[in-house]
Amino acid sequence: MARRLNSKDKNFAADFEALLFAKREVEEDVAAQVKAIIADVRARGDAALVDLTNKFDRANVTLETLKLSAAEIDGALASVTKEQLAAIDTAARRIEFYHKKQIPEDAGFTDDTGAELGWRWTSVDSAGLYVPGGTASYPSSVLMNAIPARVAGVERIVMVTPASGGKINPLVLAAAKRAGITEIYRIGGAQAVAALAYGTERLAAVDKIVGPGNAYVAAAKRKVFGQVGIDSIAGPSEILVIADGQNDPDWIAADLLSQAEHDASSQSILITDDAAFADKVADAAERALAILPRKDIASRSWNDYGGIIVVEKLEEGAGLSDRFAPEHLEIATADPKILLAKVRHAGAIFLGRHTPEAMGDYIAGPNHVLPTSRSARFSSGLSVLDFMKRTTLLSLNDKAIQALGPEAIALAEAEGLEAHARSIAARLNKTTQKG
């Protein structure tokens, strides 16, 4: 049973802190192993990839089969139903439509000195997409990571995914084909991250690595950051629902468990101003858990980290939600925009009684790669901007440098950087204090 809290209780502050900062992840100390794997890949290239892939994934790959052929990718589509392909296509179209709205504009303007200033946006040349294998194999994540890169203008997108037991989910390959990915390797783990970051004989290095993975993948991404860019280090999934008593308790319970079934470390929180409704949701959750295929995982998540918080007024929920800074926030009220105006920190917000978070996971359009572990306080979900960078532009004419140069020289000399000062002074036909 999820923990029950009431904002009127005298111990509420302490109980809320305990729920907020519950340690949901067991940190695996894999740094030494990851360091050795990366070093091996850098030293032996493709040969290391073959050895490590066969050791960890039982994939039985060779140098020639590290990369999937076009025929293998096309062949996987034969085992995907027409309905599944149609769903992938609809999701891809909606994700592309949404992300095209994010393309930033270049800018240029002239100030009162005559200086021309501005910026321009350009994409990275290449991106690597890590797709987990096994039970955590999600074609939706392929679309969510690859399509923003394609919209940004990235010319080369590489996908790596472990062929656990020699197999790759055909839906993953169908999503990759729909997203325009033609370069796919059957490798995973820290060795795949190392190959993307440093390159091997067959796999050229990329500029940015995105996509979730296990503890080894996360540690490898931390290790190679700086050599390449990375998106984020993802933690367990989480959802917070602010709901009034006019909701269907079965709907809200289903929403809460939609994240609980991801992982035993996931967290699902309900905030409501109706104690009777809270009871109904708790009962509905227990009934739903009994028939879920992933009952064991969802039950551990709900019982260990779930919470139901009763407040006097729903407005309190906005403040409490901001302290969680949840990955997913649902506001299921008659007029959700009232509370939306009071919320500052959330990865994604779902408004109204008919907007379950699960729609955002698949087909609605916004990205489902979102900040976890309270990092929505300072970061955003994956977007087109993650695959672009901004370059500032400056053009000075004689008038502008004459107007601005003397004060720039003064600052350079104050910092003791004489060469800086002389560089400017040369254009003003002046000498510096030391010149």
Q: Which of 328, 330, 357, 368 is catalytic?
A: 328
334 and 314 Cβ atoms separated by less than 8 Å: no
DSSP label at residue 147: H
Cα–Cα distance for residue pair 45/63, rounded to 1 Å: 10
333 and 347 Cβ atoms separated by less than 8 Å: no
Cα–Cα distance for residue pair 10/388, rounded to 1 Å: 49
327 is catalytic: yes
Nearest 5°: the CA angle 369, 372, 373 is 170
Cα–Cα distance for residue pair 409/431, rounded to 1 Å: 10
Tokens 């800074």: give the residue: 325
Q: Which of 261, 327, 330, 357 is catalytic?
A: 327
Cα–Cα distance for residue pair 357/330, rounded to 1 Å: 7
DSSP label at residue 101: T
Could you tell me how many residues make up the chain? 435
Cα–Cα distance for residue pair 269/313, rounded to 1 Å: 17
Q: Show which residues are catalytic.
A: 327-328
